[in-house]
Chains A and B, each alone.
Chain A
């Protein structure tokens, strides 16, 4: 009996020791990862949340091909990325908008001129059910539909049906871009909001599933997420021809709901950084662009 209880206490001590060493082990592994990075070259890449998934995919693919180069990607927004570039805490700034003149001024004050590179393009397609007779909408009509001023398909040449508006969640970069460039027409001080009854769906799949089966629905999503069983509406600026989105119309700038996505470097890139940026414009990296729903840049 005596020995039994002693051995039990001992095994408890062992269990505690084991647990403690496991915890310590966990902490040590995270440190080891950083040491390995320090051995090779690390490229810091910070900025736009729209670009963050694409930048991560590139970083991962590049690291697999060239294991001695690690690209560490952080989001935070285009402004945060460009500020980090000016302060010298990042090598690449991702941006979903062109750099502002005052940001160039700040960089010049630090002794360099930011170099711009268009790495991908982002186009947003306006989608309806294949049974919907509406083929084309002006940007103003699209804006009026999503802000709630138009709520029946009859008002834009369709059937007498209520309009069900579908949008991505508010934290999606696509949502913000659509709000600023379609609903607010890119105007400062324009406070137009999405109609409150706009359905906010957490995924592209949610949007396409609803549009596929509901003839009342209208939605929007990145061009790369559009499946063939949805109908894409041709869109036009006031007085311009109606244009369907495609890799070609996005690249020649005729499709109106599209933007360039940029990477900025502090001055002309060289060495590892230049290799990485050259790889990004290559066919392998641009294939990843298409798979994530963006439009590849044509060389």
Chain B
């Protein structure tokens, strides 16, 4: 038996390495992004980076239109996906009869598997003309179309995680509420959903994270016009997202040029935003857990 120790040691080390590799990869990604994007801060004056015009072939490197574009699309997508996703999760977990649940869950997971390019095609062929004619807009290639597609992409993530969270609420909570005379609706709305709110928040944050990083569908339907968004009506105008900018321009840019460095700087900004979203989600989960522990003790 003692002779098997080396093998065990190797296996333990391999598992440990696998665990740490995630941290190493994130660290390396950040390192390379910063190494390639950092020079942009030296090459381009800060007031150019914070200007409102993006036209890289003539040296206009204003990042604000791109940042604004991403924010408008992401907020729109969240406004669409969060309520729809959470309500779907509640329906699937609490209301739907067994057969409906067995049909709905795989269908929603199938939606998650549709490639975003295919969704982009559907967007161009179906959503763009319909949005232009029904809302009377000059063009259907707008932030709204992008937000709807991103909402569709984020919904499966939200439904799947939120449904698990609601499902994990102990049976006794519902029994207790029903025994006290609460109706089904009161049980769901006042007991089950609040008990699962940590998981639901995580679900929404994961959905938002998925939406921020999405590229292909956004590039196909938002029109990619680098207009600085102003106010709520920006949702109905074309916008240019950060991800779409990187994808559209990286292919042809000269290696090591200022434009190349600025594109990597956009990558750093995206990375920081995603990190911030995840940190906010983690802190909400952490705070709520502490509160729950206080109540229980």
Contacts and interface: CB of A to CB of B under 8 A. Distances in A.
Interface of A: 1-2, 4-5, 8-9, 12, 49, 161-164, 169-172, 176, 193-194, 196-202, 206, 209-210, 213-214, 216-217
Interface in B126-141: 128-129, 132, 138-141
B224 A202 contact: yes
B138 A171 contact: no
B220 A206 contact: yes
Nearest to B124: A209
A197 B3 CA distance: 72
A123 B226 CA distance: 27
Contact of B139 (A9, A176, A196, A217): A217
B231 to A, nearest CB: 15
Interface stretch (B53-61, B80-88, B289-297): B53-61
B219 A202 contact: yes
Nearest to A77: B254
A199 B252 contact: no
Nearest to A6: B3
Nearest to A203: B220
B6 A9 contact: yes
A216 B128 contact: no
B139 A210 contact: yes
Contacts of B65: 196
Contacts of A202: 219-220, 224, 247-248
Given A202-B224, A216-B139, A9 B7 contact: yes
Contact of A196 (B4, B53, B128): B53
A199 B141 contact: yes
B217 to A, nearest CB: 12
B136 to A, nearest CB: 10
Interface string B204-247: 00000000000000011001111110000000011010000001
A216 B138 contact: yes
B248 A171 contact: yes
Contacts of A170: 55-57, 249
A253 B225 CA distance: 33
B23 interface: no
Interface residues of B, number: 38
A214 B142 CA distance: 13
A206 B247 CA distance: 15
B99 to A, nearest CB: 40
A188 to B, nearest CB: 14
Nearest to B222: A199
B170 interface: no
Contacts of B240: 200
A169 B227 contact: no
A2 B4 CA distance: 7
Contact of A213 (B129, B138, B247): B129
A162 B138 contact: yes
Given A5-B4, A9-B6, A210 B128 contact: yes
Nearest to A165: B225
Interface in B110-134: 124-125, 128-129, 132
B10 interface: yes
B253 interface: yes
Contacts of A163: 138
A110 to B, nearest CB: 26
A97 to B, nearest CB: 16
A170 B57 CA distance: 7
B246 to A, nearest CB: 12
B251 interface: yes
26 contacts: A5-B3, A5-B4, A49-B252, A169-B248, A169-B249, A170-B56, A170-B57, A171-B248, A196-B226, A196-B227, A196-B228, A198-B225, A199-B223, A199-B224, A199-B225, A199-B238, A200-B225, A200-B226, A200-B248, A201-B223, A201-B224, A202-B220, A210-B124, A210-B141, A214-B139, A217-B139
A193 B139 contact: no
User: Which of B1, B4, B53, B224 has the most CB atoms of chain A within a 10 A radius of its CB?
Assistant: B224
B42 to A, nearest CB: 23
Given A171-B249, A176-B57, A214-B140, 9 more contacts: A1-B4, A2-B3, A5-B4, A169-B249, A193-B55, A200-B248, A202-B224, A210-B141, A217-B139
Contacts of A209: 124-125
Contacts of B223: 199-201
Nearest to A217: B139
B143 to A, nearest CB: 12
A170 to B, nearest CB: 5
A8 B56 CA distance: 56
Contacts of B55: 170, 193-194
A206 to B, nearest CB: 7
A8 B9 CA distance: 13
A198 B55 CA distance: 11
6 tightest Cβ-Cβ pairs between the two chains A and B: A171-B252, A199-B223, A162-B138, A5-B7, A200-B224, A164-B139
A193 B248 contact: no
A182 to B, nearest CB: 16
